[in-house]
Amino acid sequence: MVLTIDVGNSRIKGAVFEKDNSLELFVFSRDEIQKKIEIILKKYPKITHLVVASVGKADKDLFLNFKNELDVWFISHEDAFPFVNNYATPKTLGIDRMVLAAGATLQFKGQNRLIIDAGTCVTYDFVDENDVYHGGAISPGLRLRYESLHNFTEKLPLLQVNNPKHFVGDSTAEAIHSGIVNGLVYEISGFVDEYKSKHTNFIIILTGGDSEFLAKRLKNTIFANSNFLLESLNRIFQYKIGND
């Protein structure tokens, strides 16, 4: 069994896998790392490997505390990935983006893939049908857009993410919801349309914390899976042990 951990900007997600089967998902905060992993290991004593992808500054020592019980693997730029990396600055490419690209490469073979991760930031990553990673784009996520309107203006309130009731906002709150939510939906749709105009045999993968919220508003056919990164970590692990 494998425990995969995604250390994101705002929270930590984990999943237990037995080969390709996901047994349970977990979400917890940074200060719960030690306690939560201990609980998971008691529940699943057959776990032998801990696979970690971190984009934040979580202390690696917290995970290394389990090195006597588990084989701990921190995914890094030096690892072998199942795609050719054509990014101009490969060392600056986020591990989370590399993991998502690897998962898409392994799961959707022989297709052009656009992976959209809607979390704190929205990232777009393109892997072509020949398994070449080309890069993509980064923009602010929903929460950042709400916060920026509040933080960089004097009077606009800080609102919680919510679907706009009308396209034309009839109040300040509704205007903010319409601008942010519809703005991001149009952004994503625009990116998708641009890629699809240049490539056939195409799949769009939408993941991240806001994926389910956004998927309901997108007209393009997409594969939505909020846990795609955790599943991709397991696929990379299987790829690694299969190629060692």
What's the pTM value of the predicted model, to 2 decimals? 0.92
Whether 96 sits among the annotated catalytic residues: the reply is yes
**Which of helix, strand or coil describes residue 1?**
coil
- Tell whether the model's pLDDT for residue 112 goes beyond 80: yes
HEC string of 88-120 equals: CCHHHCCHHHHHHHHHHHHHCCCCEEEEEEECC
Rg (CA), the chain: 19
Catalytic residue among 6, 96, 125, 131: 96
Per-residue model confidence as pLDDT tens digits over 23-80: 999 998 888 888 999 999 999 999 999 999 985 555 688 888 899 999 999 999 999 9
Inter-helix orientation angle 95-107/228-243, to 10°: 70
> What does the mean pLDDT of the chain come to?
92
Q: So what's the pLDDT on residue 61?
A: 81
Per-residue pLDDT, averaged over 81-100, amounts to 95
- Tell whether the model's pLDDT for residue 130 goes beyond 90: yes
Distance CA 76, CA 54 (A): 9
Domains with residue ranges and CATH for the chain: 2-74 (3.30.420.40), 84-233 (3.30.420.40)
